[in-house]
Structure 1
Amino acid sequence: MVKTVLIADDHPVCLLGLKTLLNTRKDLYNVVHESMNSDDVMMKLAIQPVDIIITDLCMPGIHFPDGITMVRKLVRDYPQCIIVVVTMISNPGLLATIRSFGVKVLSKNSMLTDLLKILRCSSRSMKMAEKPITQLTQRETEVVRLLLSGMTVNEISGYFNRTKQTISAQKKSAMCKLGAANDFELFQCAQTAGLGTEVSMSSTTKSTVLLP
Protein backbone atom coordinates (compact mmCIF):
# COMPACT_ATOMS: atom_id res chain seq x y z
CA MET A 1 0.00 0.00 0.00
CA VAL A 2 1.36 3.41 -1.01
CA LYS A 3 1.82 5.77 1.96
CA THR A 4 1.20 9.49 1.75
CA VAL A 5 4.06 11.77 2.80
CA LEU A 6 4.64 15.37 3.85
CA ILE A 7 8.18 16.68 3.48
CA ALA A 8 9.33 19.95 5.04
CA ASP A 9 12.59 21.92 4.89
CA ASP A 10 13.30 25.61 4.52
CA HIS A 11 16.20 24.87 2.15
CA PRO A 12 14.94 24.21 -1.41
CA VAL A 13 17.86 21.92 -2.22
CA CYS A 14 17.17 19.69 0.81
CA LEU A 15 13.47 19.64 -0.02
CA LEU A 16 14.26 18.59 -3.58
CA GLY A 17 16.64 15.92 -2.27
CA LEU A 18 13.94 14.45 -0.04
CA LYS A 19 11.42 14.43 -2.87
CA THR A 20 13.86 12.89 -5.34
CA LEU A 21 14.80 10.15 -2.88
CA LEU A 22 11.19 9.24 -2.12
CA ASN A 23 10.29 9.32 -5.80
CA THR A 24 12.71 6.44 -6.36
CA ARG A 25 10.10 4.32 -4.52
CA LYS A 26 6.84 5.62 -5.91
CA ASP A 27 5.46 2.14 -5.35
CA LEU A 28 5.72 2.81 -1.60
CA TYR A 29 5.58 6.59 -1.06
CA ASN A 30 3.52 9.44 -2.51
CA VAL A 31 4.66 12.96 -1.62
CA VAL A 32 1.41 14.94 -1.32
CA HIS A 33 2.68 17.97 0.64
CA GLU A 34 5.83 20.09 0.50
CA SER A 35 6.43 22.85 3.05
CA MET A 36 9.15 25.39 3.77
CA ASN A 37 7.91 26.68 7.14
CA SER A 38 6.25 25.22 10.22
CA ASP A 39 2.99 27.15 9.83
CA ASP A 40 2.49 25.71 6.34
CA VAL A 41 3.16 22.21 7.71
CA MET A 42 0.34 22.53 10.22
CA MET A 43 -2.04 24.08 7.71
CA LYS A 44 -1.55 21.35 5.12
CA LEU A 45 -1.83 18.54 7.65
CA ALA A 46 -5.06 20.02 8.99
CA ILE A 47 -6.51 19.89 5.46
CA GLN A 48 -5.13 16.47 4.53
CA PRO A 49 -3.30 14.30 7.10
CA VAL A 50 -0.63 11.91 5.85
CA ASP A 51 0.93 8.61 6.88
CA ILE A 52 4.51 9.91 7.12
CA ILE A 53 5.92 13.30 8.14
CA ILE A 54 9.56 14.04 7.29
CA THR A 55 10.65 17.44 8.54
CA ASP A 56 13.65 19.61 9.27
CA LEU A 57 13.86 20.68 12.91
CA CYS A 58 14.72 24.36 12.52
CA MET A 59 12.34 26.13 10.16
CA PRO A 60 10.82 29.63 10.14
CA GLY A 61 7.28 30.09 11.38
CA ILE A 62 5.11 32.48 13.36
CA HIS A 63 3.24 30.02 15.56
CA PHE A 64 5.96 27.37 15.88
CA PRO A 65 9.38 29.03 15.62
CA ASP A 66 10.76 26.46 18.06
CA GLY A 67 11.42 23.07 16.48
CA ILE A 68 10.82 21.21 19.74
CA THR A 69 7.38 22.80 20.09
CA MET A 70 6.53 21.89 16.49
CA VAL A 71 7.58 18.26 16.89
CA ARG A 72 5.70 17.94 20.18
CA LYS A 73 2.51 19.20 18.51
CA LEU A 74 2.95 16.85 15.55
CA VAL A 75 3.29 13.90 17.90
CA ARG A 76 0.25 14.98 19.91
CA ASP A 77 -2.03 15.76 16.95
CA TYR A 78 -0.94 12.93 14.63
CA PRO A 79 -0.08 9.95 16.86
CA GLN A 80 -0.58 7.42 14.05
CA CYS A 81 1.99 9.09 11.78
CA ILE A 82 5.55 7.97 11.28
CA ILE A 83 7.54 11.13 12.06
CA VAL A 84 11.16 11.55 11.01
CA VAL A 85 13.17 14.64 11.97
CA VAL A 86 16.07 15.33 9.61
CA THR A 87 18.61 17.77 11.01
CA MET A 88 22.23 18.91 11.01
CA ILE A 89 22.11 19.49 14.78
CA SER A 90 24.36 17.13 16.73
CA ASN A 91 23.72 18.23 20.33
CA PRO A 92 23.19 14.93 22.22
CA GLY A 93 20.82 16.43 24.79
CA LEU A 94 18.58 18.01 22.18
CA LEU A 95 18.51 14.86 20.05
CA ALA A 96 17.66 12.77 23.11
CA THR A 97 14.77 15.10 23.88
CA ILE A 98 13.40 14.72 20.35
CA ARG A 99 13.74 10.94 20.45
CA SER A 100 11.91 10.87 23.78
CA PHE A 101 8.79 12.01 21.87
CA GLY A 102 8.87 8.72 19.95
CA VAL A 103 10.04 10.16 16.63
CA LYS A 104 12.97 9.13 14.45
CA VAL A 105 15.98 11.44 14.19
CA LEU A 106 18.23 11.35 11.16
CA SER A 107 21.33 13.38 10.28
CA LYS A 108 21.15 15.14 6.93
CA ASN A 109 24.61 13.74 6.26
CA SER A 110 23.20 10.20 6.20
CA MET A 111 19.78 10.99 4.78
CA LEU A 112 20.41 9.48 1.35
CA THR A 113 21.58 6.16 2.79
CA ASP A 114 19.39 5.78 5.89
CA LEU A 115 16.00 7.43 5.28
CA LEU A 116 14.42 4.61 3.29
CA LYS A 117 15.77 2.08 5.82
CA ILE A 118 14.14 3.97 8.68
CA LEU A 119 10.81 4.23 6.86
CA ARG A 120 10.86 0.55 5.96
CA CYS A 121 11.60 -0.53 9.51
CA SER A 122 9.06 1.89 10.98
CA SER A 123 6.38 0.52 8.67
CA ARG A 124 7.22 -3.02 9.74
CA SER A 125 6.99 -2.05 13.39
CA MET A 126 3.65 -0.31 12.94
CA LYS A 127 2.25 -3.42 11.28
CA MET A 128 3.31 -5.51 14.25
CA ALA A 129 2.03 -2.94 16.76
CA GLU A 130 -1.23 -4.84 17.10
CA LYS A 131 0.71 -7.91 18.19
CA PRO A 132 1.73 -7.96 21.86
CA ILE A 133 5.41 -7.36 22.33
CA THR A 134 5.34 -10.30 24.77
CA GLN A 135 6.14 -12.47 21.77
CA LEU A 136 9.70 -11.76 22.91
CA THR A 137 10.73 -13.72 25.98
CA GLN A 138 11.68 -11.82 29.12
CA ARG A 139 15.36 -12.54 28.52
CA GLU A 140 15.19 -11.46 24.86
CA THR A 141 13.45 -8.24 25.87
CA GLU A 142 16.08 -7.36 28.47
CA VAL A 143 18.93 -8.17 26.09
CA VAL A 144 17.44 -5.85 23.45
CA ARG A 145 16.90 -3.06 25.99
CA LEU A 146 20.47 -3.31 27.22
CA LEU A 147 21.73 -3.21 23.63
CA LEU A 148 19.68 -0.06 23.07
CA SER A 149 21.18 1.46 26.24
CA GLY A 150 24.63 1.12 24.67
CA MET A 151 25.94 -2.12 26.16
CA THR A 152 27.78 -4.63 23.99
CA VAL A 153 27.09 -8.37 23.81
CA ASN A 154 30.22 -8.98 25.89
CA GLU A 155 29.11 -6.51 28.56
CA ILE A 156 25.63 -8.03 28.71
CA SER A 157 27.19 -11.46 29.00
CA GLY A 158 29.19 -10.33 32.03
CA TYR A 159 26.21 -8.54 33.60
CA PHE A 160 24.00 -11.63 33.42
CA ASN A 161 26.87 -14.06 34.04
CA ARG A 162 25.89 -15.95 30.91
CA THR A 163 28.01 -16.95 27.94
CA LYS A 164 28.49 -14.65 25.00
CA GLN A 165 27.00 -17.37 22.78
CA THR A 166 23.80 -17.37 24.86
CA ILE A 167 23.41 -13.59 24.65
CA SER A 168 24.13 -13.66 20.91
CA ALA A 169 21.49 -16.37 20.43
CA GLN A 170 18.89 -14.34 22.35
CA LYS A 171 19.76 -11.26 20.30
CA LYS A 172 19.41 -13.23 17.06
CA SER A 173 16.07 -14.67 18.17
CA ALA A 174 14.79 -11.17 19.00
CA MET A 175 15.92 -9.90 15.59
CA CYS A 176 13.97 -12.66 13.86
CA LYS A 177 10.82 -11.90 15.85
CA LEU A 178 11.09 -8.15 15.20
CA GLY A 179 11.83 -8.66 11.51
CA ALA A 180 15.24 -6.98 11.74
CA ALA A 181 17.97 -8.00 9.31
CA ASN A 182 20.85 -6.17 11.06
CA ASP A 183 21.74 -4.09 14.12
CA PHE A 184 20.49 -0.87 12.52
CA GLU A 185 17.04 -2.38 11.89
CA LEU A 186 17.01 -4.03 15.32
CA PHE A 187 17.50 -0.68 17.05
CA GLN A 188 14.94 1.10 14.88
CA CYS A 189 12.30 -1.63 15.17
CA ALA A 190 12.82 -2.06 18.89
CA GLN A 191 12.47 1.67 19.54
CA THR A 192 9.32 1.86 17.43
CA ALA A 193 7.91 -1.18 19.23
CA GLY A 194 8.42 0.51 22.59
CA LEU A 195 11.57 -1.25 23.76
CA GLY A 196 13.69 1.88 23.85
CA THR A 197 13.32 2.42 27.57
CA GLU A 198 16.70 2.23 29.20
CA VAL A 199 17.20 -0.36 31.90
CA SER A 200 18.30 1.05 35.22
CA MET A 201 21.21 -0.93 36.57
CA SER A 202 20.57 0.32 40.06
CA SER A 203 16.90 -0.65 40.18
CA THR A 204 16.88 -3.76 38.01
CA THR A 205 18.23 -6.79 39.82
CA LYS A 206 19.41 -9.97 38.20
CA SER A 207 16.71 -11.97 39.89
CA THR A 208 14.08 -9.72 38.31
CA VAL A 209 15.65 -9.82 34.85
CA LEU A 210 15.99 -13.57 34.80
CA LEU A 211 12.34 -14.31 35.39
CA PRO A 212 11.06 -16.57 32.58
Structure 2
Amino acid sequence: MSKKKNILIADDHPIYLMGLRALLTPLSRQYQIIDEALTTDELITKLEQHSIDILITDFSMPGEKYNDGLALIQLIKRRWPSLLIIVVTMVSNPGVQRSLRRLGVHAVLSKASLSTELLHTMKRLAPALACAKAWPDSDEAQPGLRVSLTPKENEVLRLLLRGLTVNEISTRLSRTKQTVSAQKKSAMRKLGVTSEYELYEYLQQLGLTS
Protein backbone atom coordinates (compact mmCIF):
# COMPACT_ATOMS: atom_id res chain seq x y z
CA MET A 1 0.00 0.00 0.00
CA SER A 2 1.41 3.42 -0.97
CA LYS A 3 2.25 5.94 1.72
CA LYS A 4 -0.46 8.44 2.58
CA LYS A 5 0.03 11.98 1.36
CA ASN A 6 0.24 14.67 4.04
CA ILE A 7 -2.20 17.57 3.91
CA LEU A 8 -2.12 20.93 5.69
CA ILE A 9 -5.41 22.85 5.79
CA ALA A 10 -5.62 26.58 6.50
CA ASP A 11 -8.56 28.92 7.06
CA ASP A 12 -9.28 31.64 9.62
CA HIS A 13 -12.81 30.28 10.16
CA PRO A 14 -12.84 27.11 12.32
CA ILE A 15 -16.13 26.04 10.75
CA TYR A 16 -14.46 25.80 7.34
CA LEU A 17 -11.62 23.76 8.82
CA MET A 18 -14.20 21.36 10.24
CA GLY A 19 -15.84 21.23 6.84
CA LEU A 20 -12.55 20.45 5.09
CA ARG A 21 -11.86 17.62 7.52
CA ALA A 22 -15.32 16.19 6.90
CA LEU A 23 -15.02 16.47 3.11
CA LEU A 24 -11.65 14.71 3.12
CA THR A 25 -12.80 11.83 5.34
CA PRO A 26 -13.77 9.57 2.38
CA LEU A 27 -10.16 9.85 1.12
CA SER A 28 -8.55 8.92 4.45
CA ARG A 29 -6.90 5.85 2.93
CA GLN A 30 -4.90 8.06 0.53
CA TYR A 31 -4.53 11.30 2.49
CA GLN A 32 -4.01 12.39 6.08
CA ILE A 33 -4.44 15.86 7.55
CA ILE A 34 -1.24 16.56 9.46
CA ASP A 35 -2.14 19.96 10.89
CA GLU A 36 -4.20 23.10 10.41
CA ALA A 37 -3.58 26.85 10.54
CA LEU A 38 -5.80 29.83 11.35
CA THR A 39 -3.45 32.62 10.22
CA THR A 40 -0.85 33.11 7.50
CA ASP A 41 1.91 33.18 10.11
CA GLU A 42 0.76 29.81 11.46
CA LEU A 43 0.62 28.50 7.91
CA ILE A 44 4.28 29.27 7.24
CA THR A 45 5.28 27.87 10.64
CA LYS A 46 3.40 24.62 10.03
CA LEU A 47 4.99 24.23 6.59
CA GLU A 48 8.39 24.60 8.24
CA GLN A 49 7.52 22.03 10.92
CA HIS A 50 6.04 19.28 8.77
CA SER A 51 6.67 17.47 5.51
CA ILE A 52 3.61 18.48 3.51
CA ASP A 53 2.51 17.17 0.11
CA ILE A 54 -0.69 19.20 -0.33
CA LEU A 55 -1.73 22.59 1.02
CA ILE A 56 -5.42 23.48 1.02
CA THR A 57 -5.68 27.13 2.02
CA ASP A 58 -8.03 30.08 2.08
CA PHE A 59 -6.91 32.98 -0.09
CA SER A 60 -7.56 35.75 2.45
CA MET A 61 -6.41 35.15 6.01
CA PRO A 62 -5.12 37.45 8.77
CA GLY A 63 -1.45 37.53 9.70
CA GLU A 64 1.28 39.77 11.05
CA LYS A 65 3.97 39.14 8.41
CA TYR A 66 1.99 37.80 5.45
CA ASN A 67 -1.32 39.57 4.81
CA ASP A 68 -1.43 39.59 1.00
CA GLY A 69 -2.78 36.43 -0.59
CA LEU A 70 -0.82 36.59 -3.84
CA ALA A 71 2.44 37.48 -2.08
CA LEU A 72 1.89 34.60 0.35
CA ILE A 73 1.40 32.07 -2.44
CA GLN A 74 4.45 33.40 -4.26
CA LEU A 75 6.52 32.97 -1.09
CA ILE A 76 5.25 29.43 -0.53
CA LYS A 77 6.00 28.38 -4.12
CA ARG A 78 9.49 29.84 -3.82
CA ARG A 79 10.28 28.02 -0.59
CA TRP A 80 8.39 24.78 -1.30
CA PRO A 81 8.29 24.49 -5.12
CA SER A 82 7.11 20.85 -5.13
CA LEU A 83 4.09 21.54 -2.88
CA LEU A 84 0.68 21.03 -4.48
CA ILE A 85 -1.52 24.01 -3.59
CA ILE A 86 -5.32 24.19 -3.66
CA VAL A 87 -6.77 27.63 -2.92
CA VAL A 88 -10.34 27.94 -1.64
CA THR A 89 -11.89 31.39 -1.79
CA MET A 90 -15.01 33.48 -2.09
CA VAL A 91 -13.16 35.79 -4.48
CA SER A 92 -14.58 35.38 -7.98
CA ASN A 93 -12.34 37.91 -9.73
CA PRO A 94 -11.01 36.19 -12.90
CA GLY A 95 -7.83 38.27 -12.74
CA VAL A 96 -7.00 37.00 -9.26
CA GLN A 97 -7.68 33.43 -10.31
CA ARG A 98 -5.41 33.79 -13.35
CA SER A 99 -2.67 35.27 -11.15
CA LEU A 100 -2.93 32.34 -8.74
CA ARG A 101 -2.58 29.84 -11.56
CA ARG A 102 0.40 31.71 -12.99
CA LEU A 103 2.04 31.43 -9.58
CA GLY A 104 1.72 27.66 -9.72
CA VAL A 105 -1.51 27.00 -7.80
CA HIS A 106 -2.90 23.67 -8.97
CA ALA A 107 -6.59 24.48 -8.38
CA VAL A 108 -8.73 27.45 -7.32
CA LEU A 109 -12.02 26.35 -5.77
CA SER A 110 -15.05 28.36 -4.73
CA LYS A 111 -16.18 27.94 -1.15
CA ALA A 112 -19.75 28.01 -2.43
CA SER A 113 -19.27 24.73 -4.30
CA LEU A 114 -16.48 23.19 -2.22
CA SER A 115 -18.53 20.16 -1.22
CA THR A 116 -18.68 18.94 -4.81
CA GLU A 117 -15.42 20.34 -6.21
CA LEU A 118 -12.91 19.29 -3.55
CA LEU A 119 -13.15 15.51 -3.89
CA HIS A 120 -13.15 15.79 -7.68
CA THR A 121 -10.03 17.95 -7.53
CA MET A 122 -8.22 15.59 -5.14
CA LYS A 123 -8.88 12.66 -7.45
CA ARG A 124 -7.75 14.68 -10.47
CA LEU A 125 -4.47 15.56 -8.74
CA ALA A 126 -3.73 11.95 -7.75
CA PRO A 127 -1.62 11.20 -10.87
CA ALA A 128 0.49 14.33 -10.28
CA LEU A 129 1.14 13.25 -6.70
CA ALA A 130 2.03 9.72 -7.73
CA CYS A 131 4.59 11.04 -10.22
CA ALA A 132 5.93 13.83 -8.01
CA LYS A 133 9.72 14.11 -7.95
CA ALA A 134 11.95 15.98 -5.58
CA TRP A 135 15.08 17.67 -6.84
CA PRO A 136 17.68 14.88 -7.12
CA ASP A 137 20.84 14.91 -5.00
CA SER A 138 23.04 14.36 -8.04
CA ASP A 139 23.02 14.99 -11.75
CA GLU A 140 21.78 11.48 -12.49
CA ALA A 141 18.54 11.25 -14.46
CA GLN A 142 18.98 14.88 -15.53
CA PRO A 143 20.76 14.61 -18.85
CA GLY A 144 19.61 18.01 -20.08
CA LEU A 145 20.70 19.81 -16.93
CA ARG A 146 23.90 17.82 -16.55
CA VAL A 147 25.14 19.00 -19.93
CA SER A 148 24.55 22.69 -19.27
CA LEU A 149 25.31 23.14 -15.56
CA THR A 150 28.54 22.69 -13.67
CA PRO A 151 28.37 20.63 -10.44
CA LYS A 152 28.69 23.81 -8.34
CA GLU A 153 25.97 25.60 -10.29
CA ASN A 154 23.71 22.57 -9.95
CA GLU A 155 24.36 22.48 -6.20
CA VAL A 156 23.47 26.15 -5.78
CA LEU A 157 20.34 25.77 -7.88
CA ARG A 158 19.19 22.70 -5.93
CA LEU A 159 19.55 24.52 -2.61
CA LEU A 160 17.83 27.61 -4.00
CA LEU A 161 14.83 25.53 -5.00
CA ARG A 162 14.68 24.07 -1.51
CA GLY A 163 14.00 27.56 -0.23
CA LEU A 164 17.44 28.71 0.89
CA THR A 165 18.56 32.27 0.28
CA VAL A 166 21.89 33.23 -1.27
CA ASN A 167 23.21 34.08 2.20
CA GLU A 168 22.12 30.70 3.58
CA ILE A 169 23.65 28.85 0.63
CA SER A 170 26.86 30.80 1.10
CA THR A 171 27.06 29.67 4.73
CA ARG A 172 26.19 26.06 3.97
CA LEU A 173 28.67 25.70 1.11
CA SER A 174 31.39 27.90 2.66
CA ARG A 175 31.48 30.15 -0.39
CA THR A 176 31.28 33.92 -0.57
CA LYS A 177 27.92 35.50 -1.30
CA GLN A 178 29.36 36.96 -4.49
CA THR A 179 30.44 33.50 -5.69
CA VAL A 180 27.05 31.93 -4.93
CA SER A 181 25.23 34.81 -6.60
CA ALA A 182 27.41 34.50 -9.70
CA GLN A 183 26.83 30.74 -9.89
CA LYS A 184 23.08 31.26 -9.49
CA LYS A 185 23.01 33.86 -12.29
CA SER A 186 25.15 31.67 -14.51
CA ALA A 187 22.86 28.65 -14.02
CA MET A 188 19.74 30.69 -14.74
CA ARG A 189 21.34 32.20 -17.84
CA LYS A 190 22.23 28.74 -19.19
CA LEU A 191 18.66 27.58 -18.59
CA GLY A 192 17.31 30.65 -20.38
CA VAL A 193 15.36 32.11 -17.44
CA THR A 194 15.58 35.65 -16.06
CA SER A 195 13.79 35.32 -12.71
CA GLU A 196 13.29 32.77 -9.95
CA TYR A 197 9.63 32.52 -10.90
CA GLU A 198 10.56 31.61 -14.49
CA LEU A 199 13.02 29.08 -13.09
CA TYR A 200 10.33 27.30 -11.08
CA GLU A 201 7.98 27.34 -14.06
CA TYR A 202 10.69 25.84 -16.26
CA LEU A 203 11.42 23.05 -13.79
CA GLN A 204 7.73 22.30 -13.35
CA GLN A 205 7.45 21.83 -17.10
CA LEU A 206 10.32 19.33 -16.87
CA GLY A 207 8.48 17.53 -14.06
CA LEU A 208 11.27 18.16 -11.56
CA THR A 209 9.28 20.13 -8.98
CA SER A 210 5.73 18.82 -9.14
One fold, TM greater than 0.5?
Answer: yes
Query: CA deviation digits over 1:116-175, x for unaligned, max 9?
Result: 221221221343567xxxxxxxxxxxxxxxxxxxxxxxxxxxxxxxxxxxxxxxxxxxxx
Identify the residue that residue 15 of structure 2 maps to in structure 1.
13
> 1:36 is aligned with what amino acid?
L
Give, in angstroms, the shift of residue 15 of structure 1.
0.9
- 2:111 partner letter: K
Match of residue 74 from structure 1: 76
CA distance in 1, matches of 2:47, 2:131: 25
Aligned to 1:52: 54
Q: TM-score, with normalisation over the residues of structure 2?
A: 0.59
Cα distance in structure 1, aligned partners of 2:109 and 2:40: 18
Using CA pairs under 8 Å that are at least 6 residues apart, name the structure with larger relative contact order, 1 or 2.
2
- Please say if residues 57 and 67 of structure 1, whose CA atoms lie closer than 8 Å, have aligned partners that are also in contact: yes
Match of 1:180 in 2: none
For residue 61 of structure 1, give the secondary structure of its aligned residue in structure 2.
coil
1:91 CA drift (Å): 0.6
Identity of aligned residues (%): 40
Using the TM superposition, give the Cα deviation of residue 7 of structure 1 relative to its aligned residue in structure 2, in angstroms: 0.2
Task: Work out which of the residue numbers 111, 114, 118 in structure 2 matches 1:115.
Answer: 118
Structure 2 distance, partners of 1:39, 1:116, is: 27
Moved more, 120-129 or 23-32: 120-129
Match of 2:127 among 102, 124, 137: 124
Distance 1:17 1:34 in 2: 12
In structure 2, the CA distance between the partners of 1:35 and 1:100, relative to structure 1 (3 Å rule), is same
Any gaps of 5 or more consecutive residues in structure 1?
A: 131-190, 195-212
CA distance in 2, matches of 1:101, 1:192: 13
Q: Kindly report the root-mean-square deviation, in angstroms, between the aligned alpha carbons of the 2 structures.
A: 2.1
* Stretches of structure 2 lacking an aligned partner (at least 5 in a row): 134-203
Q: Structure 1, residues 35-56: CA drift from partner, whole Å, max 9, x if none?
A: 1100000011101121110000
**Contact 1:125–1:192, Cα closer than 8 Å, also in 2:** no
Match of 1:97 in 2: 99
1:21 and 1:126 map into 2 onto residues whose CA distance is 19
What is the CA–CA distance in structure 1 between the aligned matches of 2:97 and 2:121, rounded to whole Å?
16
Q: CA, structure 1 residues 33+20, in 2 after alignment: closer, same or farther (shift >3 Å)?
A: same
1:102/1:192 contact within 8 Å kept: no
Q: 1:32 to 1:95 in 2, by over 3 A?
A: same
Q: Structure 1 61/96 Cα, relative in aligned 2: closer, same or farther at 3 Å?
A: same
User: Per the alignment, do residues 128 and 50 of structure 1 end up closer, same or farther by CA in structure 2, a change over 3 Å counting?
Assistant: closer
